Amino acid sequence: MSGQTSQPQRISPAQRVAVIIPAKNESGRIAATVQSVKAIPLVDLILVVDDGSQDQTRSKAQDAGAVVVRHSHNQGKAAAMETGAAIVAMRDVEGAPPRLLLFLDADLGETAAHAAPLVKPVAEGEADFTIAVLPPQLGAAGFGAVVRLARKGIARATRFTARAPLSGQRCLTREAYEAATPLARGWGVEVGMTIDLLRQGFSVQEVECDLRHRPSGRSARGVAHRLAQFRDVSMALTARGIKLSTLRLGRKVKQLTSRGRPPRRPEPS
């Protein structure tokens, strides 16, 4: 989808990419994620934002070769993304094109290199931002309610039907990122970003990437995470003028909307 009236300019071959990885208590996977990201073409900066971890996330990321900045206490995914983007801006070279921003989750492990296809459309000016479409995840037992809510809300707001409305694996130009700020809080950040950018005429491509998350399944923690997602996506949509009652969400989703009470705070990223 594109709302632009003119062709986007092709970006200089000298364009570089900064990878921003928000992380909390990911000591088991962060090193593999950082090492894998090094294989993505054009990447010259890997920045891990340790969002108040209580394990060895920081040291393992540093040992793997990432630049690490740390929040002394957990502030959530959106805040970690904003911190990362601000640090990248300070490291951009004056007179050179601003780095593209590639946001990746910390638990991708050795599959993180497969995010490379997200970069090309943005680097070549074919899109202002890209979103990864992941294959079915082994062991994932998610509630489709959150995906349906996000997809229908984005479609109502922008007429764009997203295949992966909740995907956090995204590449953006600096201009697009700045246009999306301030980011929606909690787990509504991706939905808010998509709506805000498309409403402003930025163009998007969804790109299939063979990325693998750590499955959360139907554990108590996994259920709490999805309830928090549902709440935060609902808040992001409502803040953008979308009435949930108009989305034809289905009986089960409407029950969550009307009486579901997820935890007051989102699960830390």
In a domain, 143, yes or no: yes
Domain-embedded: residue 3: no
Which one-letter amino acid corresponds to residue 267?
E
Q: What is the pLDDT of residue 6?
A: 41
Statement: residue 147 has pLDDT above 80: yes
The partner residues of 43 in beta bridges, in order of sequence, read 17
188 located within any domain:
yes
Measured on CA atoms in the order 25, 31, 35, 38, is the torsion positive or negative? positive
69: left (phi over 0), alpha (psi -120 to 50) or beta: beta
pLDDT the model gives residue 8: 46
Q: Are strands 170-172 and 100-103 parallel, antiparallel or unpaired?
A: antiparallel
CATH code, 157: 3.90.550.10
pLDDT at 223: 72
Q: What is the pLDDT of residues 58-80, one digit of tens each?
A: 999 999 999 999 999 999 999 99
Share of the chain above pLDDT 90, in %: 74
Q: Is residue 185 part of a domain?
A: yes
Backbone phi and psi for residue 112, each to the nearest 5 degrees, phi listed first = -60, -30
Higher-confidence residue of 4 and 135: namely 135
The answer, yes or no, to whether residue 187 has pLDDT greater than 80, is yes
pLDDT at 221: 67
**Antiparallel, parallel or unpaired: β 129-133 and 204-208:** parallel
CA distance 159 to 60: 43
Determine the structural domain holding residue 207 and report its residue range: 17-259
Share of the chain above pLDDT 70, in %: 82
Pairing of strands 170-172, 129-133: antiparallel
Is 268 contained in some domain? no
pLDDT at 249: 74
On whether residue 28 sits in a domain, the answer given is yes
> Would residue 216 count as lying in a domain?
yes
Helices (H), 159-250: 174-180, 189-199, 220-239
pLDDT at position 226 over 60: yes
- Give a yes or no: residue 9 inside a domain: no
In this prediction the pTM is: 0.86
**How many domains would you assign to the chain?**
1
The tokens of 140 are what? 């994932």
